[in-house]
Structure 1
């Protein structure tokens, strides 16, 4: 349980009170205070100066990188989110089955192809899983997950919280646009952009998927954040989640070499280990060979991948997808080894069924736009 859950006074503390404690008594700053500060901001009660002060003080003191603070901010953000109801009159939660996600913090500076987005499509097609892909448009890369899916014909802004359960049930995939489900976070956007340096809010995205997946792979942009993110997820009660970071400080399982894993087991233990492309039966490739390009180029690459009409330059991207999809299949318990996961991902891609699934999802969202 978070400290904010135990604080009976948390509705009385204003952003000014929080800032005073954060700046003057940082050693006494608590997760409850962090939650209060974010609550006040999301209510529109804070000025731009106060928001900037809050973000900067969290960053400079290192306070904002503590697992309990990150967890408190994520929990407060989730408490104000528009949360889809997955147990409806027509679809029971049991019928829906396991819901998973593969998502990264971004900000690693590598601008690779949309690996997690493509991997999520493969996993949704490969197994009896539902993938609730949480994301947004590009911020640090050439094309974000939302940009690419929209280019493929998906009307993502038409998807409302009440649509998610049916889309997941019928298509096994649904994209959740971050802005739709966390409207209160809009109060932070301008200040974060103007500050121009990372704050704890740069890593909150993977923690705030509104459906709270049963299992997930979460990428972080720095190895130093791996344990911190895992501890925050543990505090939030997440189990069977794996935090990953490529040795190059990449927020995915790397195709170039070693990746570090912090795996939160069912009992809450966090196991640390490394994986390598060879564990998946896949050769290594330099990250530059899997670089993303313009939105149009990425769209063309995705079309070739899904139609199994690969050109030579697509092989590193395809292998990159295989290890990330394979790892999520492993974390989800569908397969018992990394290689088995990559093999299943390869078979699924080569079958052409991923292309059909994406087409069905796009069609379903286009119909929602017409209502």
Structure 2
């Protein structure tokens, strides 16, 4: 079925099946649903979109491997892939990625996006790579249930070596980065407009003595530092923080953000 044939009327039977017979909702049903939702202009009403996501969550379909795989296929097919690049002066050819689940319910500032930009300013090529290109991964969980490296206390780390297929576990704390601890209340997210303003101020190095901006800045640097260590660009977490701060201070983080913004 082509995208021209999809509309809110063709989405309705899929939504009805999801709600009435979730056990019979297949990967193909997921794929067709996602094609509606991720068209250039969504081919479903706001009410239908809200009902779909609510049902997927409430019925536990988001935990099914076949549903996740089908959704991921649609997103990959619709992704805009930037052209490959080679390392220039001051840059590394390593490719890295950083993501949060977005589902920990802690409502903190979108640190993974900001940290990826800061790491890019430090010379790292940050993009959504083919999983086969990754050799090492950190899976992290803060003591509070945070799906990022926590600025408030201990973070549990599963260090996955995809070459040797081994997993090592350890715990890190803000002091390992040479940084103070900050309560999560100091790094809460706001509206999209407020978050965009915070990101711009951070990338331009303008904290203006704000307690919360200082906290968010440390939060971002911690996560960028870990990415730089994993990529081999930083010797340790403290060195990673220094590289992250220099990325912002030099203006390279802002330049990386501006290039990405203009390209997209």
TM-score of the superposed pair, with normalisation by structure 2: 0.66
How big is each residue's C-alpha offset from its partner over 1:131-161, in whole Å with a ceiling of 9 and x where there is no partner?
34xxxxxxxxxxxxxxxxxxxxxxxxxxxxx
What's the secondary structure of 1:74's corresponding residue? helix
Matched, 1:120 2:116: yes
Which among 302, 314, 326 is matched to residue 202 of structure 2?
302
- Residue 256 of structure 1: aligned partner: 152
- Residue 129 of structure 2: aligned partner: 213
Matched, 1:287 2:184: yes
After TM superposition, list the pairs within 5 Å mapping 1:39-188 onto structure 2: 39-42=35-38, 46=44, 51-81=49-79, 83-87=80-84, 97-106=93-102, 108=104, 110-113=106-109, 115-126=111-122, 128-132=123-127
Alpha-carbon offset, residue 323 of structure 1:
2.0
Q: Structure 2 vs 1, CA of residues 270 and 17 (structure 1 numbering), >3 Å: closer, same or farther?
A: farther
How big is each residue's C-alpha offset from its partner over 1:341-365, in whole Å with a ceiling of 9 and x where there is no partner?
332322551x476442145457768
- Residue 28 of structure 2: aligned partner: 32
| RMSD (Å), alpha carbons | 4.4
Q: Structure 2 vs 1, CA of residues 68 and 332 (structure 1 numbering), >3 Å: closer, same or farther?
A: farther
Alpha-carbon offset, residue 41 of structure 1:
4.3
After TM superposition, list the pairs within 5 Å mapping 1:315-330 onto structure 2: 316-330=215-229
Q: Is the 8 A contact 1:112 1:287 kept in 2?
A: yes
How big is each residue's C-alpha offset from its partner over 1:183-239, in whole Å with a ceiling of 9 and x where there is no partner?
xxxxxxxxxxxxxxxxxxxxxxxxxxxxx236xxxxxxxxxxxxxxxxxxxxx7674
Alpha-carbon offset, residue 254 of structure 1:
0.4
The 2-side partners of 1:268 and 1:19 are apart by: 43
TM-score of the superposed pair, with normalisation by structure 1: 0.51
- Residue 151 of structure 1: aligned partner: none
Q: Is the 8 A contact 1:246 1:259 kept in 2?
A: yes
Q: Is the 8 A contact 1:111 1:291 kept in 2?
A: yes
- Residue 150 of structure 1: aligned partner: none
The count of corresponding residues between Structure 1 and Structure 2 is 245
How big is each residue's C-alpha offset from its partner over 1:239-282, in whole Å with a ceiling of 9 and x where there is no partner?
44434332223342101112244555424958473533244343
The 2-side partners of 1:272 and 1:76 are apart by: 33
How big is each residue's C-alpha offset from its partner over 1:297-326, in whole Å with a ceiling of 9 and x where there is no partner?
83696278x37x884836544432332112
Structure 1: tracts of 5 or more residues without a match? 1-13, 133-211, 215-235
Higher relative contact order (CA 8 A, sep 6+): 1
Q: Is the 8 A contact 1:123 1:329 kept in 2?
A: yes
How big is each residue's C-alpha offset from its partner over 1:7-61, in whole Å with a ceiling of 9 and x where there is no partner?
xxxxxxx656645654454334433331132224445665666545543432232
Q: Structure 2 vs 1, CA of residues 250 and 238 (structure 1 numbering), >3 Å: closer, same or farther?
A: farther
Q: Structure 2 vs 1, CA of residues 119 and 362 (structure 1 numbering), >3 Å: closer, same or farther?
A: closer
Matched, 1:242 2:142: no
